[in-house]
Structure formats: C-alpha cells, structure tokens
Amino acid sequence: MSEQNEHRSSGISRRSFLRYTALGSGAAFLAACAPTAAPTTDTGADSGAAAPGDAPAAETGGPQYGGTMVWMGHQEVAGLGVPDISPTVQAVMIRNIMNPLLHYNEYAEIEMILADSYEVSEDGLTYTFNLHEGVLFHDGSPFTSADVKYSYDFYRNPDNAQPNASLYLGIGSIDTPDDLTVVVNMDSVNAASLANWAQQPIVHSGKHAEVGEDVFRTEPIGTGAYKVREWRAAEFTELEAFEDHFRGRPYIDVIRQDVVPEPSVRMIGMQTGEADAPTWPLLVEDALLLEADPGYTTFRTLGTSCKHIPLNITAPTLAEKEVRQAMMYALDRQRIIDDLWNGAGVIAQTNLTPSNTFYHNPNTKQYEFDPAMAAEMLDAAGWALGDDGVRAKDGVRLSFECTTITGDQARRPIAELAQQMLAEVGVEMLLAEAPISAILEALRNNTMDASLFNWTYGSVPEPDPYATLHPDGGNNFTGIDDPTMSDLIERGTQVVDPNGRKEIYDQIQELFVDIVPILFLQFDQNITPINSRIQGIPADPVLNDQVFFQAHRYWIMEA
C-alpha cells in the first residue's frame, strides 16, 4: 500500500533494510523452484477496545483468550469470496476466513498453511503438495485434496469469468492420488506459480457447488481461524473465532472491521480506543502522531501498490501515447507527495515498487515535472489550445473523467491537484465519485475513462504483472493490448532463473514507462499504528497487509 521518499522520513530500521536487501538475491525464486520440500511453519466474552494511554508497546505477558479486536477500513466490503480478494479491506477479512496452501508472509517468506510441504520437479512442470492432516471447514466437514482441485478448476475455468483466472496460467490438470496429496501438472512452466495460484484461498467444494459463486461470496465457508458472524457491506464485517481451527483456536474471540471512509474519523477511533488498527492508512500526519505515542505499536513498510490514475487507453482522448506521456510531464508528483502526503512516499518511476530491490529497474525513462515539455508534445500531436483553455483535435476536446472512490477524502485532494496541473497544459480532467465495486467493474469492462487508487502491477517478491498489463488479465483496467508487452509478460513466467527473468522484467518496465497505460504517481510508505493492547504483532515486517492476515496469532492484553 505505501512508501516514503528519503532516508530522513523513511524511518526504515536496519533490520527492515537488511530484509529489503535480501529480497534482491533472488533466493526466494530459486528456493521456490528447487525440487526440495519446504518446512512447515506453525504458527469468550466480547470486550470493546481500550483507550491506549501509556501502555508499553512491548509484550507484557503470555497469550490470553477473549475480547474483540476492532479494525477500520476506508471503503465497503463488497464481498467475501475469492474474486473479492484484491482490495485490502476485503483481503484482510477473506484471508482470515479462508486459507491457501501457502503464502508469502509479512517478511516475504514462504510459509506453509494448508500444505505441510511441497516439491517441484526439476523441469518445473509438476508441483506436489502434501496437505495438513485433520483440517476442518467451519461446518465441521474435513478438508481434502478434492477441495483444492475443485477450487483451482473453478477459478481457472474461463467459462466462469473470474477476475483472478489469469493467476492459474500454465496449469494443465490436477490429480488427487489421495485425500492429503495434490499434484498440479503444468502444461508450461510458470515461475510465478507459488506467488499466484498457490496463494489463492481454497473454498469448501460442497458448499460452493451447491450455492454457486454469487451466493458463496456472501456466506463463505473456509478453514480459516475465523468464520463469518455478520456482514453488512457498507457498515461492518464481523468474524468470530473458529473453535476447531487446525492451528489451534485463535486467542481473540471476535474481529470486527468497520467501514469508516473519513480519515479524521478513523483517527478519532484510534485515539479514543474505539478501534485497534486501521487496515487502510490514516493521514500521514495522524499516523506520525500515533507513532510517537507509547500507547501504540507502529511499523513502517515500503508500499507494493502504486498510487496511480489508470487510463482507459481505448478511449479516443486517451488513445495516443503522446497525450499520456505529456500528462506525465504535466504532473508535479513530488509536490503531490510533499503537499498532500506529508512527504511519505517516493515518485513512481516504473510499475514495480523500489522495495522489490532485485526486479525494480531504476534506469528507465524519467518524467521530470516539465509543463513546457507537455505543452510542446501536445502541440506536436495536433491538440490545439482552444478559447476555453482546453485543447481539441478534429473537433474532439481533450477531456476525460476521473472517478474517485466515494468518501475517499485522503486521495480525492490528489485528483483535485492533478486536475489543476493538467488544466495548465490544456487537458480537462473532470471529477466524479462512485463505490469501489462499481469502479472496478467499469474499469474491467473499459467503460470508464479513469480512476484514482492504489493497485499492484507486479509486487514483492513476484514481479509478474499479467493480471493488469496483459490483455487477458482479469484486472486489465486500461485495455492495454500491446503485442510486445504481452510477449514479454508470457516469457517472464516461463523463465525460472532469476537473472534471466530480470532481463525480461527490465524490458517490461522500460516498455511500461513508454506506453504510459497509467499515470503512475507514487509508492507510499505505510505507517501502521496498532493499539498496544494487541500483542503478538511481528517486528519490522516488510509487507503491510500480511500483518492483518495473521489474526490467529494475536491476543489482547487488558489493563
């Protein structure tokens, strides 16, 4: 979600720095593709949150059972199914309800969950998973290999039109020789397999087949540490502890995430103790205040998602590369970071976050703030400035609409400032608002000009941007269909050697900054405060969201 701009304001500890540096070795990918078994990593009455006061950040006792942990998100939780997992406020709920075979944890390290171990054949075409024994779904039925096969077959089937279908690329067939063994046979090598399909949640096959996807995403049954107690999309989502969870009954009885669009209200919730943590960042100045308060445990993480304006490049006014490049020159991105994000970010130079130290390419074309250059490019492209201050070409005004998320008071000012900057060079960006679910649907169908939010176009540690930059990607918000880009993306997953992959992803980033399918603004620095009564929080995590995926490990230390 976020990042920062210089060492003065980054607040990165030495331990975090070493972890970022370690990601650059490519060791994670070599380990993922080697034919070796991965080790297994193990991991009452409701009570409201307590005001922080002077509680120490360090743990003051052993784990305790009971209580309610309250989180706050910035937008509605539109669904609780596998296809809803991309937005952060939905992911933090879904990942506690349903489990994958494995995942990359808060340190970007592979951690076994439903799988005890895995093995990859030397040719990279066979993945064998040995499943954890004795796992139950929330309805008491046993989890078996049949549930894995069902989940993967359903979500990768193009007939089911799932937005995450592209994550399963390369899978040919799935065998289940017994209840605790899954063999995934690949038609082609996909070096992103463990980061993509192996991290997707497994659904209850019987329930899902009975009710269908549309119903299941409103009443999911998983193997997670928590099960759904109540869900009101625009108000709150409440989960309760699953007594028979295979890793042990979670310590905290209830997790509740409230929908609180206004950053100021989220801050009040933190200060009064009505909430324990924001799942979406507070305003930076507010987060800094809580960081200095001993009543909170605070950590900083470099963001993996780019704050950006996705552009529908199939729309007539946005179809020309020169127009999109000119808009990049027209945007003073450092001013946006300094004035509207309190300096807590770095200018985005490619689709990949700089925290992916191995794959990020720092040598791509740079778009320095240069409105004169922007005007010159638009003139050369035939977009003449009109009497109304808006450029036009062949009777078409250079105007488009950017739809921001309803109630998003943190990012709306960015859209407003960008609107002013673009107007200075004769580009009219109109502003509108809509719920995130409507925005994502419209962008996927290329029926909306533009929006403004954070999203990943390749992440940490996996750089694969298929879902967003390939024409068959489920989140191809821009309508990009560039043959060279598509070929590079396809080749990138077929190469196992990290150094060979890096050459390809360097080229992808170079092409990305030339095509400009999005106006790439910044990578934020997340500053996440958690009420110190919540114990068991990991120290110096690399990835922010993953901290919230581990709710079964935390407990409440009451005063």
Work out the pLDDT band at 559, boundaries 50, 70, 90: low
Mean pLDDT of the residues in the chain: 90
Kindly tell me if the per-residue pLDDT of 39 is higher than 80.
Answer: no
Q: Are strands 391-393 and 396-397 parallel, antiparallel or unpaired?
A: antiparallel
Q: Are 470 and 461 in contact (CB under 8 A)?
A: no
Residue 40 has pLDDT above 50, yes or no: no
User: Counting runs of H as helices and runs of E as strands, what totals does the chain give?
Assistant: 18, 22
Amino acid at 12: I
pLDDT in tens, 477-536: 999 999 999 999 999 999 999 999 999 999 999 999 999 999 999 999 999 999 999 999
- Predicted pLDDT at 8: 25
Query: Tell me: the pLDDT tens digits for 78-129?
Result: 999 999 999 999 999 999 999 999 999 999 999 999 999 999 999 999 999 9
DSSP per-residue string spanning 26-69: -HHHHHHHSSSPPPP------------TT--SS--SS-----EE
pLDDT tens readout for residues 299-329: 999 899 999 999 999 999 999 999 999 999 9
Give 327's contacts (C-beta < 8 A, 6+ positions apart). Answer: 374, 422, 425, 427, 516, 519
- Same domain assignment for residues 517 and 543: no
pLDDT at 422: 98
Predicted pLDDT of residue 61: 67
pLDDT 10s digits, 201-238: 999 999 999 999 999 999 999 999 999 999 999 999 99
Indicate whether 9 belongs to any domain: no
Residue 32 lies in a domain: no
* Mean pLDDT within 250-276: 97
The verdict on 331 and 204 lying in the same domain is no
Q: Is residue 106 part of a domain?
A: yes
Paired tokens of 4 = 């920062």
Q: What confidence tens digit (pLDDT) does each residue in 404-450 have? A: 999 888 899 999 999 999 999 999 999 999 999 999 999 999 999 99
Q: What is the span of the domain harbouring residue 351?
A: 302-525
What pLDDT does residue 409 have?
86
Does 16 reside within a domain? no
Share of the chain above pLDDT 70, in %: 89
CATH number at residue 505: 3.10.105.10
pLDDT at 43 over 60: no
- pLDDT 10s digits, 115-136: 999 999 999 999 999 999 999 9
Please provide the DSSP assignment of 139-186 as one string: TSPBP-HHHHHHHHHHHH-GGG--TTGGGGTTEEEEEEEETTEEEEEE
- Number of folded domains that form the chain: 2
CATH code for the domain in which residue 114 is found: 3.40.190.10
432 and 353 in a single domain? The answer is: yes
